[in-house]
Copies of this chain bind each other. A is one copy, B any other.
Amino acid sequence: MANTSSRTLRLLSLLQTHRYWPGTELADRLEVSVRTLRRDVDRLRELGYPVEAQRGVDGGYQLAAGAALPPLVIDDEEAVALAVGLHSATRVDGIAEASVRVLAKVVQVMPTRLRRQVDALRAMTVPATWGGSAETAVDPAVLTVIALACRDDERLRFAYTAADGARTDRHVEPHRLVPLGRRWYLVAYDLDRHGWRNFRLDRLTGPAVTGARFRPRELPAADAAEFVRRGLKEMPRPYQVEVLVDAPAATVRERIGRWCTVEEVDAGHCRIHMTSDDLAWPAMALGVAGADVHVLEPPELRTELHAWAARFRRA
């Protein structure tokens, strides 16, 4: 308790919870002399954390933005918020992997009572997979279990439903999680089939680590993403949606600009473009647009809209 490293950590935590701290108060809280506090601050600075100080009346210390990130000291509530938030970040291109990595990190050290809270709250958050039907959504618990197994080189068992509907039990050495397109894939070495395989996470249920660790094998590909791409026979080609809207570009952009690109045609018309695997998404967007539309591409969207129209008219 009266340790130096412990105190350094506590100082870091204090500096993170409130910006300005008078030296005397910090010294008081840490139960050391002001001189020692100054030395502690120096220590933090030597570790690369930019602690700035202001002299004079009402001066104090503050933690500024630096080159490296200091260890984040968080409390229970904040950890829950973190876990819930990261869940939705796993869908954002470019940071999906990093999200899963931190998520695994947080979940691993989180007390079980907090984990229950997280599970309860996650149920309330709206999944961000707009166009996706339920099958494309990945259970976050599945994601973290597998992420941890990959990270820690632990063997994994799960049930897998192949594209043709055949259900099999698998025993694998997980290698890496790869977000590709709008899906997650697990690249793993199948221990029963003696070869590398791709698994779509949304077709995988009940993953559980066996507890056995393994020495990673070498993947027969440049990297995991490359391996997945190679393994995919045919990518489901997404629809390229192109629609003319009878409304000013500015209006349309304000209403649905977040989901598509809007291009001005003239004062009262614009053209929008979006990409989607599923026709429900563009249909929703066009509904929210609140103006007459003319579908240019694809023809199937027209059928979809007419189907919605028929149903809504009967409502």
In the complex, residue of chain B having the shortest beta-carbon distance to the beta carbon of A63: B109
In the complex, residue of chain B having the shortest beta-carbon distance to the beta carbon of A125: B92
* A280 at interface, CB cutoff 8 A: yes
Of the candidates B79, B106, B109, B309, the one whose C-beta lies within 8 Å of that of A308 is B309
- Chain A 117-137 per-residue mask, 1 if CB under 8 angstroms from chain B, else 0: 000010011111010011000
The 3 closest A-B CB pairs, nearest first, are A85-B89, A71-B71, A19-B152
Decide: A63 near B308, CB < 8 A? Known: A102-B82, A126-B259, A128-B126: no
Q: Give chain A interface residues in 278-315, CB to chain B under 8 Å.
A: 280, 283-284, 286-288, 290-295, 302, 305-315
B294 engages A315 (CB within 8 Å): yes
A308 engages B312 (CB within 8 Å): yes
Among A78, A111, A254, the one with the most B-chain Cβ atoms within 10 Å of its Cβ is A78
Decide: A292 near B311, CB < 8 A? Known: A19-B151, A66-B111: yes
Decide: A109 near B65, CB < 8 A? Known: A8-B5, A80-B98, A84-B89: yes
Q: Give chain A interface residues in 205-222, CB to chain B under 8 Å.
A: 213
Q: Name A residues whose Cβ lies closer than 8 Å to a Cβ of B.
A: 1, 3-6, 8-9, 12-13, 16-20, 43, 46-47, 49, 58, 63-82, 84-89, 92-95, 97-99, 101-102, 105-106, 108-112, 121, 124-128, 130, 133-134, 148, 151-154, 213, 254-255, 257-259, 280, 283-284, 286-288, 290-295, 302, 305-315
Q: State A18–B291 Cα separation when bound (angstroms).
A: 53
Of the candidates B110, B124, B284, the one whose C-beta lies within 8 Å of that of A65 is B110
Q: State A67–B109 Cα separation when bound (angstroms).
A: 9
B287 engages A302 (CB within 8 Å): no
In the complex, residue of chain B having the shortest beta-carbon distance to the beta carbon of A3: B43
In the complex, residue of chain B having the shortest beta-carbon distance to the beta carbon of A149: B19
Residues of the B chain whose Cβ atoms lie less than 8 Å from the Cβ of A254: 133-134
Residues of the B chain whose Cβ atoms lie less than 8 Å from the Cβ of A290: 307
Q: State A94–B76 Cα separation when bound (angstroms).
A: 13
Q: State A109–B4 Cα separation when bound (angstroms).
A: 23
B92 engages A124 (CB within 8 Å): yes
